[in-house]
Chain A
């Protein structure tokens, strides 16, 4: 099984039991599938808020949703190395089935943190010299031809020679003939030097280490090799950034004014009152003080509808939180633009359609009528948009 950043796909699944957060799985009873390309399929089952099973399995039937991706992306997303949103948007992660349900898995598990293995000085030396060739910057080594031999003393030590010739770099774990320059240094000091915890001047000034041969060549090290990246992450832990978290909730009241007031009063009496432009004749719904087309005051009211035909329905899968209540509307919902009887052209009236009927609505166009709908009035009406609960199909 392939490893990504030192972690394999099975590490993620095997640790799920330890990482499970019951508080993130309240009321969940479902199985989730994971189809990881060239790695296998896993089924994770949650029963009444507890983690029932994590199984490697061939058949993912019965899963409410299945994540399809490759091993590298899967490990990356679970460890935070790969941005989950970007992977999803860019098509590297796909979710088949109920997207909303799958979204809950994000809250069910703590992030995977790889067990921290201590690296010994010897591990570091092997890794540091093992990555020299891959850190070699070809373009920075034009016209350079030399050999650096590094004699590392101490228990973890050894001898390495780095040969630069024709813009290529070879490392051997041995002495070679006629090195251009030879460095002597203690094992721990070489590790600290490479990690940037100390520098060559300090070491040499303290008499810890020596240089034989062309010292100018030794100074070129930093130019022709990429900086060594500590596999342990190293350095100071990142500082926590302080942010102030606030939820604002304020009471508001909005005056209606006489025109909108008359329109809303009409709803109380189960009447939909459009105000009609005296110049162009268009019906304004909801009512407005002036006609923006003709720039004249509009004071005449005409009762229209209450039935009509749908001209366009917004099929809404994603609802913004209601800014007045902070609550998110149930999705999907349909916002309909209805041409009420007595209205023409673009004099449409916006409201909601009964949620269980959204898949039955046909939009009208030109001389093809849309689905006929009627308002469902509330028993108690107060002069607001929701004196009409919603519209429903008029059969």
Chain B
């Protein structure tokens, strides 16, 4: 497999993000990005002189700025440096992390900074997403990223009451997590007692997808600094290592609504997870990982995707939510940061998943630090018509031996 050819190891040595908010009229785009870049440099105890290359990314059409990376040079510090712009829709924050990993691993650069941002208040998010669809057909029908299909599927499989309660339970848990995160955009102070009330009172957007269950539209930026193994060991007292990542997608058209048992739909999340775990010899992802920072655009999707990402069966994923095992002190903490439902500056959103997963491994997440040791973290990105990016992060640089052991073990 391609990842076996990784030339050298890569570590995360610096993390910075802004407070995510719907009110950043006090700064323009480069100024907002500069906040995250400065924070990451401070965190790594570096200056711009130490950075070899900048990988810049956000959604293509949201602010209607052509080549924003040029304007943003003032904020990213890319003047006189290599700067690469990447835009892959909702996954972009994760894609710039993958690209940074690849650029460092290849040996081209020793230290690379990934910068993701969005100022969603400066455009129209749902209009922007709709604009990405095929102009000859689906653009005329769809309404951005809003869909009630996941709600329909969960209700069909698990019954209306159980499914709706699971989705709202997930939502309230994310609100509680966001309340612990000083950078989170939204935390309403929701309580579990409000669960049934919210199911009734929150306005519907599409089908059974309700307003409260959908992610926010935020302004914010995130910067993460990646370095080669040698530099990482020199510069960082608490590095986080990139173990592996995978990107999976299929086609632009949604051909998934036949709902016939003889024609199952291969979900990109499940496929990505299967491939990634297989090549890393992980049999029980739910046991292996200590935290999962998931790109959760809406609570219905989130509940459903837990099954795919952890290779679960039947209603195991629903039970994880119902028994609050996804809470910060549960068996598998999901998004201690509050997730995408809590903050969603889209071009930064997936990079924040990597940043937050890394903070958990470092033990630097502050009030939303998981109250048990974190050694293995998983982060996901999502976008478009079912694009998946999955990344594995490690505290110790020891999986190669484990891998070899596994391979030798199999041969014996």
Residues of chain A whose beta carbon lies under 8 Å from any beta carbon of chain B: 86, 89-91, 94, 99, 241, 243, 248, 252, 254, 256, 260, 264, 282, 284, 286, 288, 292-293, 311-312, 314-324, 329, 335, 337, 339, 344-348, 350-352, 363-366, 384-386
Contacts and interface: CB of A to CB of B under 8 A. Distances in A.
B144 A320 contact: yes
Nearest to A254: B135
Which range contains the number of B residues in contact with the other chain? 35 or more
Interface in B113-166: 124, 126-131, 134-144, 146-149, 152, 156
4 closest pairs, A vs B, by CB? A90-B188, A345-B263, A292-B251, A346-B258
Given A254-B136, A317-B203, A348 B141 contact: no
Contacts of B255: 282, 284, 346-348
Nearest to B145: A320
Contact of B146 (A318, A322, A339): A318
Nearest to A255: B136
B403 to A, nearest CB: 31
29 contacts: A89-B186, A90-B189, A90-B190, A91-B190, A91-B194, A91-B201, A99-B203, A254-B135, A286-B134, A293-B250, A311-B257, A311-B258, A312-B152, A314-B149, A315-B148, A315-B207, A316-B146, A318-B143, A318-B146, A320-B126, A323-B139, A324-B139, A344-B258, A344-B260, A346-B255, A346-B263, A365-B259, A366-B259, A385-B140
A256 B136 CA distance: 7
A363 B148 CA distance: 13
A286 B135 CA distance: 12
A345 B146 CA distance: 24
B251 A314 contact: no
Given A90-B189, A311-B259, A346-B257, A320 B143 contact: yes
A364 B259 contact: yes
A320 B127 contact: yes
A48 B190 CA distance: 40
Contacts of A339: 258
A314 B189 CA distance: 31
Given A86-B188, A335-B141, A365-B259, A323 B203 contact: no
Given A314-B149, A315-B148, A350 B188 contact: no
Interface string B23-66: 00110000000000000000000000000000000000000100
B190 A385 contact: no
Interface in B173-207: 186, 188-190, 194, 197-198, 201-207
Contacts of B144: 320
Contacts of B124: 320-321
Given A89-B188, A335-B142, A385-B140, A365 B135 contact: no
Nearest to B64: A248
A385 B136 contact: yes
